[in-house]
Amino acid sequence: MPENLPADARDASAPSAPSTSTPKKDRSHWLYIAVIIAVIGGIIFGLVAPDAAKEWKPVGEMFVDLIKMMISPVIFCTIVLGIGSVRKAATVGKAGGLALAYFLTMSTFALAIGLVVGNIIQPGHGLKITPGSADKYVEKASESDHGLLGFIADIIPTTLFSPLTGDSVLQTLFVALLVGFAIQKMGADAEPVLRGITYLQKIVFRVLTMVLWLAPIGAFGAMAAVVGESGAKAVGEMLKLMFGFYVTCALFIFVILGALLWLVARVNIFKLLKYLAREFLLIVATSSSESALPNLMAKMEHAGVDRSTVGIVVPTGYSFNLDGTAIYLTMASLFIADAMNMPMSMGEQIGLLLFMIVASKGAAGVTGAGLATLAGGLHAHKPELVDGVGVIVGIDRFMSEARALTNFAGNSVATVLVGTWTKSIDRERLNIVLDGKEPFDYSTMEDHGSEASARH
């Protein structure tokens, strides 16, 4: 489902294709509507005719199989290109290094918060989602369970390219990291390789987009089956997950980010959010935080942050600082585990956390890639849980705006923090702008960058 972030999880410096952005948004709009209708229809069907609804379970399973088909290529491309982004960000000096350290810390913290809240509210508890198409993976996982050494041995693939055609997510992740760091060591000589992988990624996501157009059918089948098996309780548990997610995102923004922003920069989070209010409304209207990216950069420069700092923090943050998506990934994983009555042990949750820290960097920035990352994390740590992804497809849309808004808030706060740490921010100018004494002029937004840079 849409992750409401940049249209690509490619290198932050890669050019976008503005000429095709409008048609994509229009088509996605119809897809969103179709999924919502399918979810409502599946719930009604499951409540009215539970026995017949259970027979639709294979439809949801087939859609999950299509998603699983995309896991390895999605993770490989996004991780390799993500490491390329790190290389470029690291070359800009102190601002880039601080930004990357901050992004890694906060996204890990957000993932951990998702696990904590998920364990407290236990979303999905009492639902009846039974394993189906993932049974074959359960058998394979049990055969390879030979302790720590066996686990490490299973990560090493037969050949460098075999993970791309296999079903071991950890092997794909391992090879992607090796290739990514090898490309990083090659420096400028690796640019043709990165371009090639960028084109491969575009093909992969074109295929993924085609798969996602079947999401309404898959969501209807999965929703009808789970409501048919669990009754009205299924609706209540899904509402619990959504409400818990909304509350967690709000607490993360106003309490965690708000406190950090005040302690480091002495900036009131409410003033910053008010300054960016129009961008938040734009995200809600378009279901995409990508639409607010140019405005965020221009507004941060207008507020007194140096152009070079804004230029590295904001684009890199759009792929690496995905706080809302991080919270979503772990809470959704626990929802599926509880719904299938297969709760994960603390060791499995920590392993999932470590996997998501790496795999979510950039992967969640693409339409549908977050779903593949979620499926990949479950597949790597408890394969029998993958079938529950079909239910998440149905309710994903209802949580997408909260993810996008949280991600956007996190990146705006990060820009001010990094500017403060690197002393590349005009504090007097920032206070004047946030107090509303010098409003942002949208008609001349391109001029603000040069004005801000001239002051530094």
Beta partners for residue 305, in sequence order: 425
Q: Is the pLDDT of residue 106 over 80?
A: yes
Site of tokens 């979620």: 374
Residue 206 banded pLDDT, cuts 50, 70, 90: confident
User: Span 218-234, mean pLDDT?
Assistant: 79
- State what percent of residues in the chain have pLDDT above 70: 75
Asked whether 232 and 97 are in contact (CB, 8 A), the reply is no
Model confidence at 24: pLDDT above 50: no
pLDDT in tens, 237-294: 788 888 888 989 999 999 999 999 999 989 999 999 999 988 888 777 666 676 677 7
- Would you place residue 146 in the very low, low, confident or very high pLDDT band (cuts 50, 70, 90)? very low
In this prediction, residue 58 carries a pLDDT of 80
Measured CA to CA, the distance from residue 18 to residue 451 in angstroms comes to 26
| CATH of the domain spanning 26-454, picked from 1.10.3860, 1.20.1740, 1.10.3470, 1.20.120 | 1.10.3860
Name every residue whose Cβ is closer than 8 Å to that of residue 43 and which is 6 or more positions away in sequence: 223, 224, 227, 234, 235
Whether the pLDDT of residue 144 is over 60: the answer is no
The CB density around residue 418, as the number of other CB atoms within 10 Å, is 31
What is the rounded CA–CA span in Å between residue 84 and residue 253? Answer: 29
Query: Cα separations (Å) of 268 from 115, 181, 255?
Result: 28, 39, 11
CA-based nearest residue to 265, from 273, 257, 277, 274: 257
DSSP code of 437? S
Query: For position 270, what pLDDT does the model report?
Result: 94
Mean pLDDT estimate for the chain: 75
Instruction: Answer whether residue 140 shows pLDDT above 80.
Output: no
Neighbour count for residue 150 (Cβ, 10 Å) = 10
Range scoring the smallest mean pLDDT among 203-207, 212-216, 226-230: 226-230
**Torsion over CA: 369, 37, 328, 138 (sign):** negative
The winner for highest mean pLDDT among 90-99, 119-128, 271-280, 382-391 is 271-280
Q: Which of 71, 66, 10 is nearest to 377 (CA)?
A: 71
**Which of 37-46, 282-291, 305-314, 319-328 shows the lowest per-residue confidence on average (mean pLDDT)?**
282-291
Q: What is the pTM of this model?
A: 0.69
pLDDT of 3 above 50 = no
Determine the pLDDT at residue 258. Answer: 93
Residue ranges of domains in the chain:
26-454
Write the pLDDT tens digit of every residue in 37-55. 888 888 888 888 888 887 8
Pick 405 or 371 by higher pLDDT.
405
Q: What is the pLDDT of residue 150?
A: 61
Residue 9 has pLDDT above 60, yes or no: no
pLDDT at 417: 93
pLDDT at residue 26 tops 50: no
Task: Provide the percentage of residues in the chain whose pLDDT is more than 90.
Answer: 7
Average pLDDT for residues 340-349, to the nearest whole number?
80
What pLDDT is attached to residue 249?
A: 92
Q: Considering only CA atoms, give the Rg of the chain.
A: 22
Q: Is the pLDDT of residue 5 over 50?
A: no
Lowest-pLDDT range of 64-73, 101-110, 443-452: 443-452
* Banded model confidence at residue 13, pLDDT cuts 50, 70, 90: very low
